[in-house]
Amino acid sequence: MQKKITWHGQAWQSEEQCEISSSEAGIEVRGSIQGTSEDGQDFEINYTLELSPEWQIQHVVVRDAKDEGNELDLQYENGQWFAVDGWHLGNFDHVEYVDITLTPLTNTLPIRHLEFAEGEPQSISVLYIDLPSFKVRKVDQYYTKIGKNTYRFQQDDFTADIVVDDEGFVVVYPDLFTAGKDT
């Protein structure tokens, strides 16, 4: 599968170009997000995700194209996260998912990986990457399938009903993202 998606950010004015390539060996996602933050600062963030064929995270790289010092390069192996230099990030052991704040792509990971019975919430822990600050923390999130292509997303006191296409990619994330043309 080869797929290209454009998302338009609404909360922060942004545009993302995302390419998804899959084979029997796994899935690679490459995204580039350009925009302006709430305080008027321009940003450009690039990310790469390597996933198993079952949409489980294996490797995540996030880079600030305007500041080479801001970069995360993390591996997930056997339930543990490691920095590129081999440093074990023990606080994130058994955190199976990643959420990158400036892209709706990371919502696709649990939607594609988990099995959903309509109306029953699924609880997950995620490695939450807050951009453009590059702060990382563990958070709990909940996904509930509430319709054929609609999932209720909850984190802390935030709730949104996300509409996805038939492949699980976000089409509408109310007040945050809308998808443009994809191929």
Q: And the tokens for 157?
A: 């006191």
Query: Do the beta carbons of residue 34 and residue 63 sit within 8 Å?
Result: no
Listed by start position, the domains of the chain span 2-179
- DSSP bridge pairs for 4: 19
44-88 residue pLDDT tens: 999 999 999 999 999 999 999 988 778 999 999 999 999 988 899
Output the pLDDT for position 14: 94
Of the chain, the percentage scoring pLDDT greater than 70 comes to 98
Q: And the tokens for 121?
A: 């919430």
Query: Do the beta carbons of residue 54 and residue 114 sit within 8 Å?
Result: no
Please count the helices (runs of H) and the strands (runs of E) in the chain: 1, 14
φ/ψ of residue 79, rounded to 5: 80, 10
- 89 pLDDT more than 90: yes
User: Which pairing describes strands 57-64 and 26-36: parallel, antiparallel, or unpaired?
Assistant: unpaired
